[in-house]
Structure 1
Amino acid sequence: MSGMNVPLDPRPSPAVNAGKLWAGGAATAAVAALIAVAGILLGRGLFDVEVLAPKGQGTWGDASTGWYALGAGVAALLATGLLHVLLLTTPRPMRFFGWVIALATVVGMLAPFVTDASTGARFYTSGLNFVLGVAIGSLVAGVGKSALIPVAARPAARPQW
């Protein structure tokens, strides 16, 4: 196939500042973990709602508070990785990212309702998962847009006279 001329795609390939993207993803992970901790403290301390652990564990609960915060941080890093892959490989990556995040958030919101926890705990945890999904989705999407490197359009080929 060395003799065949393959036309080049006239559209420039996307370029991503990976360092900026992952730094923003790490910052989002920290924010998500803090939202989880604040949400648990608010639910247990102010509203006396069981969130992840029985009320008997106190406002800070048990190790599940740490695991919930860690899970929120990991979710933010997974979202960053997903967006990185989408930015490099798919047309309209932000649209696909939005759909994935929205559907993952819905799953997170529905998950508490398959447990035998109290109704208040189910609704509160669902609401906390909603806040986490919105925060992670909006922060990672914003970071992704700012991490895109503008690519100058290729100059038109000049005819050889």
Structure 2
Amino acid sequence: MNKKELSDFLEAYDFIEDMSGKTIVNLIKTTAIMRAVYDELFQKHSISEPKFLVLLLLSQEPEGMPFSEIGRKLLVSRANMTGLIERMMKEGLVEKILNPSDKRSTKALLTQKGRKLFEGVKDDHIEFSRRMTAGIGDDEKELLSKLLKKLQNDIVDSFE
């Protein structure tokens, strides 16, 4: 998406009057714009958003993480998770290991190549994040983060 297309998108749906509806549509629009911007970052590193999220999760787990837990954290089905991990294994980004605490399950573990890729993407991700939030101060970021967490919890509680 180019800047003109993104600008046009910003004005879409401004006619919504109900504040709850307007809030949700603005969140959807924000997510869509962020994904468009992040596509540029992910393409630069030849990865997808789901691959980035797996790399991010596994970067915090030196002993690996069970496939099922990764799937839960990404809100994806077991079949989709297995397919994604298998593609990442073929690329040499992760390896599959037996889960020592549950012999019936397997864990995904970052390889050296996966860790190196993540380290390169991480710096760009931080830069992109800072550029996207440059117009709001640290206090506003903290408040926004708290409000989004509150909204996430309300949604989960309301629609179980």
When the two structures are superposed, what TM-score results if normalisation uses the length of structure 1? Answer: 0.26
The structure richer in strand per residue is 2
